[in-house]
Amino acid sequence: MEGVRDLERDLDDMREYYRHGNTREASWRKSQLKGLLTLLEAKEGDIFKALMHDLGKHHVEAFRDEIGTLTKSLHFALGSLKKWMSGRKAKLPQIALLTTANIVPEPLGLVLVFSSWNFPFGLSLEPLIGAIAAGNTVVLKPSELAPACASFLANTIPAYVDNRAIKVFQGGQAIGEQLLLQKWDKIFFTGSARIGRLVMSEAAKHLTPVTLELGGKCPAVVDSLSSSWDRKATVKRIIAGKFGACAGQACIAIDYVLAEKKSAPALVESMKVKINEMFGKNPKESHSIARIINKQHFLRLKNLLEDPRVEASIVYGGSLDEDSLFIEPTILVNPPIEAAIMTEEIFGPILPIITLEKIEDSVQFLNSRPKALAIYCFTKNKSLERKMISETSSGSMVFNDAIVQYAADTLPFGGVGGSGMGRYHGKFSFDTFSHEKAVMRRSFLSDFWFRYPPWNTNKLQLLESAYKYDYLGLLLVILGLKRSR
């Protein structure tokens, strides 16, 4: 109980700090963002060590996917903050004489960010950047499944930001449940759909708005490509978009491939060659592929592979080392569609390839399944491209590459349907943690008498004209030079 009282006391202090307007000033927001930038620069080596400890990430991969993208995001936010905070003018109908309007962003208040373990820094600090830029007080709950990273965030962030407004709470399920019982002005959650439902259910009790960044079996649709260069680029980007993204433990990693039956054998052979080039003949010794986060997830992946029907479809890889939590990059061809490996998000270094008679059949295949967080399509066929855009639905769509959309600050990142709700990155993060308030100003000099009671037929005609015409049209009606009907 004492811990709960301490938590509630901390949150009350943060609400009070927010009410005093401390976080609304541009100077405060910039100082916090600069503090995070300094943290990334000063503690880069420690961040690499934490990521190696929890996930076995090579420091180059760690820089590419976490420190590098965060540094870029912070610079973007710092350079754009004045414009984001200024709001924008709203266009009004001509009938609104001597009236102006603006849309003014204001912070939501006290917000809660639940981050995930697979990109423990990126998925913690990216939403934090948006919440700070928007002027909120923020509680960050990092995932306990990446304990070294969570400990680093909890122990280091307070030295670089205003700890009266930004706090990190460590812990497992118990602290998560206690946090969800509190009243928040916004909850931002990254994780599984199962936990996302629980978060949304608890948030509903306080009518708290939520952003849910969930998973989704992200497909790669691979068309037959005539150019040798295009085929090589496709294979390289698929392998990197699956095995090079935290060993497939990424919500936007390629989950499975759809390819034409006639081209699948050549695709598989090219993939084998490229895996050897990227990770060597013994990937476990290359240190270029991350390991599975923990034994529970390892056993889940092992069970997926040990389904006899799935095991029979393995054409490459398949070796596992439980002691080191390592799974070799593995390729399957046509595992049963109803098997768990094709109905659950894989979240590991296992890549099924499903063959189709013609690549256009991929649209029907995708539409028969839950909406993906991302669809990747490798093609030069403009007709297929238009078909994919207009006839499928996903959080994002990328042609001829994978995962790169995550690094684009000018694009919204988020899911649709079962893959999530809401969006963030860049200005979209700022908007996610802001309320857009409509502000209208009217002059005392102009008014229309027919908007007020008592009512009569003449006023009805004038009101109809007001909604139908611009100011000049209404004036003509009033003068009797134009009929209202």
Spans of all domains in the chain: 2-214+426-436, 219-410, 450-485
Q: What tokens does 395 get?
A: 């959080």
Dihedrals phi, psi of 322, to nearest 5 degrees: -65, -35
Q: Domain 2-214+426-436's class?
A: alpha beta
Query: Rg of the chain over CA atoms, in angstroms?
Result: 27
Distance in angstroms (rounded) separating the CA atoms of residues 57 and 291 = 8
> Is the separation of the CB atoms in 484 and 460 below 8 Å?
no
Distance in angstroms (rounded) separating the CA atoms of residues 156 and 178 = 23
Judge residue 84's burial from the number of C-beta atoms within 10 Å of its C-beta, 0-12 exposed, 13-18 middle, 19 or more buried: buried
- Provide the pLDDT for residue 484: 57
* Interior angle at CA 315, CA 311 and CA 319, nearest 5: 65
Tell me 370's DSSP state: P
* Interior angle at CA 465, CA 464 and CA 469, nearest 5: 130
**Contacts of 385 by beta carbon, 8 Å cutoff, 6+ apart:** 377, 379, 399
Distance in angstroms (rounded) separating the CA atoms of residues 405 and 400 = 12
Q: What is the mean pLDDT of each run of 10 residues along the chain (485 residues)?
A: 79 97 97 98 98 96 96 98 96 85 97 97 98 98 98 98 97 94 97 95 97 94 91 97 95 97 96 96 90 96 95 96 95 97 96 97 97 97 97 98 96 96 97 97 87 90 80 64 57
CATH code matching the domain that covers 219-410, chosen among 1.10.3720.10, 3.10.690.10, 3.30.70.600, 3.40.309.10: 3.40.309.10
- Provide the pLDDT for residue 389: 98
The active-site residue out of 61, 126, 213, 260 is: 213
**Contacts of 399 by beta carbon, 8 Å cutoff, 6+ apart:** 376, 377, 378, 379, 385
Task: Give me the long-range contacts of 406-411 (CB less than 8 A, separation at least 24).
Answer: 406/69, 406/252, 407/69, 407/72, 409/72, 409/73, 409/76
The active-site residue out of 202, 251, 260, 345 is: 251
Is 213 annotated as catalytic?
yes
Residue keyed to tokens 């992200």:
218
Is 149 annotated as catalytic?
no
- Provide the pLDDT for residue 260: 97
Dihedrals phi, psi of 228, to nearest 5 degrees: -60, -40
Distance in angstroms (rounded) separating the CA atoms of residues 344 and 367 = 16
Distance in angstroms (rounded) separating the CA atoms of residues 227 and 218 = 25
pTM of the model: 0.94
DSSP string of 6-45, one letter each residue: HHHHHHHHHHHHHHTTTTTSHHHHHHHHHHHHHHHHHTHH
